Amino acid sequence: MPIISMFYGIIIRLYLMDNQHHNTPHIHAKYAEFEASISIDEGEILAGQLPRKQLRLVQAWIELHRDELIADWELAVEGEKPYKINPL
């Protein structure tokens, strides 16, 4: 589960070959004891939870980097290591 970005105490990961659990492009965000799967397309929580402030930061980051995230998702689904993406 490669880390693709970190900002404001939030760790963003893409799991390799992770297209079966939610079956939609998504990232995993972790902040302190909170963790959530968040869709790349809509920025909505698919599972888990994050505090409101951190969720909004992640959603803003997704908005800025959506094309890169989709490209990384496609790599990860194929089992290849995704590229790092600039933090917020």
- For residue 83, being part of any structural domain is answered with no
Domain that residue 38 falls in: 3-77
Helix boundaries (H) for the chain? 52-77
- For residue 86, being part of any structural domain is answered with no
- For residue 88, being part of any structural domain is answered with no
73: helix, strand or coil: helix
Domain count for the chain? 1
Query: What pTM did the predictor assign?
Result: 0.92
23 and 11 Cβ atoms separated by less than 8 Å: no
Q: Which residues pair with residue 5 across a beta bridge?
A: 12
* Residue-wise pLDDT tens digits, 4-55: 999 999 999 999 887 766 679 999 999 999 999 999 999 999 999 999 999 9
Higher-pLDDT residue of 68, 24:
68
- For residue 48, being part of any structural domain is answered with yes
- For residue 34, being part of any structural domain is answered with yes
